[in-house]
Structure 1
């Protein structure tokens, strides 16, 4: 929702079977209460013992200097999203928000951890670790008989180039466990600040390999027998295109409110799944 883009997931649904591209839209209204000030500010509040009174600087270094490297944002809100990837039925779910950055290299959010290995003149190369939530059969009546897609860990890399308010990027992610799939995403985003408002936009396309497509869109012979749906073999290809936008209002230096919305258009074999 990175900023808030956190993305609602999307995939196949029974409705709109005759369309070449299925629309999966989501809208997010986030009431955030982030504590975005440096953690070191806490140590400097009135009445708080100084690090020299509690910690031996010769042994541990200056505690305040270490805290000053951290920037943390926390918050909570709600997200309006499909029951599962591709469903035309939506539901409101609570949505936690958390991000932290340590120095210039390490960032953490609800999707995982990213470490920047190289940054030079607008170019950035990094690695990341995270997770794939998978899918539960009982997420929707339309999924009965198709079984669960187990969650799995994700490892991957990211390359980006930023110039002013604009950035282009590419990501490659491999899931360990679960779908065991490989996905690649390319996209572009921009942000603009006007007084206390921050406007952001992001457009991207995602490719997925055979394993990912079969896990989320394919129907095996066994699944066909259980669900009554025809067998379907989903091949690798461009899975979806996403468009997202957000507006953030800075209430103070430490508090803000963000709203975001977007749409995901399923492509290729994802649109032809018989479910």
Structure 2
């Protein structure tokens, strides 16, 4: 699916959520600014609260869930935030930390990923319906204690792509070393029946069209995985990052006749210029 076609999946609901997020964030921004004394001090605080970084990125991901081949996507990499309240980072196009503190965040965002499938991806997929990527509503929470950060995020399909909902839980330990910061830790992903049916199920009609055996799915653990993230600051303005996730498909995803390989690799490398 070409990126330009993603616009057709942005429903009025998606636009409404984005407007709500923006309005909520602007109310918070007005409240925070109004609490400060003096116009000059408020302006200075507003400027210092902005963090902006942009640059190129490369995403490597399976051609489709369960695929043994990979696809490479060149992407823009953005890292923009205001007062740790409003943000646009990576796949999160627009997000708000509704609750935040020194050690925690709770919020929501509109997010995109590249989980999709077309019959041209593999001859075995002929006869199966295409699955397009589209926007998802993400609800998240994270908490940091010392060097450890636990996080949970729920992703709900809001583009009508049939991808249902997934929940990702991770725990990482972060170790700084000079300009290098490395975070490593395990996690797992749960998927509902709609998601597993879309990507791993084979109905009777699909079995007849594709010659794959019929396969019924349900909700359960989609995968267990290990995360490795590394960030290096070359200077005050230039930084680079590498995020790698190696996972193993489980349960319905592992046993599906569509799955070619249980090992799943996702990686993203980027270079950002920070203003």
TM-score of the aligned structures, taking structure 2 as reference length: 0.71
What residue in structure 2 maps to residue 240 of structure 1?
A: 223
- Say which of 72, 87, 109 aligns to 2:67: 87
1:91-102 pair list within 5 angstroms: 91-102=71-82
Instruction: Give the secondary-structure state (helix, strand or coil) at the position aligned to 1:214.
Output: helix
**Is the counterpart of residue 215 in structure 1 residue 198 in structure 2?**
yes
Cα distance in 2 for partners of 1:247, 1:184 equals 24
Q: Distance in 1 between matches of 2:83 and 2:198?
A: 38
- Whether 2:117 is the aligned partner of 1:139: answer no
Q: Give the secondary-structure state (helix, strand or coil) at the position aligned to 1:222.
A: helix
The Cα of 1:69 is off from its aligned counterpart by: 2.2
Query: Rg: which structure is higher?
Result: 1
Higher share of residues assigned helix: 2
Distance 2:218 2:174 in 1: 35
Q: Provide the TM-score with structure 1 as the length reference.
A: 0.71
Q: In structure 2, do the counterparts of structure 1 residues 72 and 141 end up closer, same or farther at CA, with 3 Å as the change threshold?
A: farther
Moved more, 264-273 or 249-258: 249-258
Among 29, 48, 57, the residue aligned to 1:68: 48
In 1, Cα distance between equivalents of 2:198 and 2:124: 15
Show structure 2 runs of 5+ residues with no match: 1-38, 259-275
Contact 2:65 2:115 in 1 (8 A): no
Determine the structure 1 residue equivalent to 2:151. Answer: 169
Match of 2:105 among 124, 139, 163: 124
Give the distance between the partners of 2:84 and 2:243, measured in 1 at CA.
26
Q: CA separation of 1:263/1:99 partners in 2, compared to 1, >3 Å: closer, same or farther?
A: same
RCO (CA 8 Å, sep 6+): is it higher in 1 or 2?
Answer: 1
Cα drift, residue 198 of structure 1: 1.4
Between the aligned partners of 2:204 and 2:216, the Cα distance in structure 1 is 10
2:256 is matched with 273
- Residue of 69, 84, 92 corresponding to 1:104: 84
1-structure distance, mates of 2:71, 2:157:
27
Please tell me whether the aligned partners of residues 202 and 244 of structure 1 are also in contact (alpha carbons under 8 angstroms). yes
Structure 1: gaps of 5 or more residues: 1-57
Tell me if the contact between 1:134 and 1:179 (Cα under 8 Å) persists in the aligned partners.
no
2:9 matched to which residue of 1?
none
Does residue 160 of the first structure (1) align with residue 104 of the second (2)? no
Q: Provide the secondary structure at the position in 2 that maps to 1:219.
A: coil
Q: Is the 8 A contact 2:191 2:220 kept in 1?
A: yes
Q: What SS does the corresponding residue of 2:58 show, helix, strand or coil? A: strand
